[in-house]
Amino acid sequence: MDDPSPSPFEVERRALDLIERLANWAGKPRARERLLRGESEQVRGRVAALEASARRASAMLPTEGPTLAGADQTPPPPLRVGPFRVEDKIGEGGMGAVYRGRRDDGLYDQTVAIKLIHAHLATRAGGAFDTERRILARLEHPNIARLIDGGVSEDGRPYFIMEFVDGRPIDEASEGMPPNARARLFIQAARAVQFAHTRLVAHADLKPGNILVDGEGRVKLLDFGIARLLGDGSHAPSEPSPLTRGFASPQRLAGLDPSIADDVFAMGKTLEQVLGGTADADSAAIARKAQASHETDRYASAAAMIDDLERWLEQRPVAAQPDRWFYRAAKFVQRRRRLVAALAIAGLAVTAAVVTAGVNGARRPRTG
């Protein structure tokens, strides 16, 4: 006789226990497999649901950074920085808070985003803010929020002033859209990431909350607060590296420096959320390939991922799938349905004609 199914209480207790243990083995699929082996289908399903909920929550939380004394003693922002009046807070991250600002020197009307470093980090992280300003200065792209100005406030806090983007996170903005429209939105963001990579900049914190879509459907990539200039050696081994755990690669979780491969991993996670339940076999395979555990199994660049997404949009075979003849044949039929249908009809017509001719020949009376 089969064992009775575990009670809901037992399922919840076991799933929570496993979640705590799995957190210690993030990025190690074999250890995960060992932990889940032998668990009931109900427990495995509840673990998956809890992990999905945690990923959604992590996308909405600020980037994780080092916890420092005095973090809860941040004074209010200054009334103004430069020619801008500081208004309401619109976001907060690991190193700074972002406020809406409005120009009030009488020259012209302008709304901006003002990022102020946390007061308790001014000494230790001021250099990182300088790095962010240098990075943004080299990133002139239509899908990257533009740097306008920067400096130090009267109370000694570094700041910089950014283009204000009135938009929603890309996963929210894409809700209700067909899958191809969602993919095209994502490609806008991916092209901005690829541009940053060509300027030797790794974003290091890609997630839906850092990719906004405005009312006209334009995508803007923002928050290069923990970005790295690739190969500049500015990240000391002992220096804590902020990250968003739900979108960080196993290599980032292990403490390695941000890289192009890490951005590709985060793009895969983001694509998965953007597509949601609209993903098919090919688009899901693209997202999986981008977030492979080993760097060598991922796309080599954002451009390679974009190329595969465009092939998917054109109903062509994608690199994320095994290269088999029947897969290629199926994709050919998918994108050439009219031609295949016409050939099939023509083939049937020829067959019918041959059969008719044969029947008529058989019926014709023989002479001689």
CB 52 within 8 A of CB 19: no
**Which of 195-199, 281-285, 348-352 is predicted with the least confidence, judged by mean pLDDT?**
348-352
Q: How far apart are CA 220 and CA 288, in angstroms?
A: 24
Residue bearing tokens 């919840």: 12
Q: Which of 135, 134, 101 is nearest to 115 (CA)?
A: 101
Query: What three-state secondary structure class fits 64?
Result: strand
Strand-pair partners of 249: none
For residue 60, which phi and psi values (nearest 5 degrees)? -95, -10
Domains detected in the chain = 8-60 (no CATH), 77-163 (3.30.200.20), 167-313 (1.10.510.10)
Is residue 255 scored above 70 in pLDDT? yes
The whole-number average pLDDT for the span 55-64 is 47
State the chain's mean pLDDT as an integer: 78
% of the chain exceeding 70 in pLDDT? 68
CA 293 from chain center: how many Å? 15
The whole-number average pLDDT for the span 6-21 is 71
Is residue 40 scored above 90 in pLDDT? no
Catalytic residues: 205
Which helix or strand (DSSP H or E) is residue 122 part of?
helix 122-137
The whole-number average pLDDT for the span 10-35 is 72
205 versus 319: which is more confidently predicted? 319
Q: Which of 74, 64, 65, 80 is nearest to 125 (CA)?
A: 65
Residues ≥6 apart with Cβ < 8 Å to 307: 319
Is residue 240 scored above 70 in pLDDT? no
Is residue 64 scored above 90 in pLDDT? no
36 versus 206: which is more confidently predicted? 206
pLDDT in tens, 120-144: 665 555 555 566 666 776 788 999 9
Is residue 328 scored above 90 in pLDDT? no
Q: How far apart are CA 357 and CA 353, in angstroms?
A: 6
Query: What three-state secondary structure class fits 25?
Result: coil
pLDDT in tens, 267-316: 999 999 999 999 999 999 999 999 999 999 999 999 999 999 999 999 99
- Tally Cβ neighbours within 10 Å of residue 327: 15
Q: Which of 40, 31, 273 is nearest to 23 (CA)?
A: 31
pLDDT category, 236, cuts 50, 70, 90? very low
Look up residue 344 and give its amino acid: A
Residues ≥6 apart with Cβ < 8 Å to 303: 194
User: Residue 198 is encoded by which pair of tokens?
Assistant: 């060509």
- The pLDDT score that the predictor gives to residue 311 is 94
Residues ≥6 apart with Cβ < 8 Å to 154: 78
**Which of 38-52, 74-88, 323-337 is predicted with the least confidence, judged by mean pLDDT?**
323-337
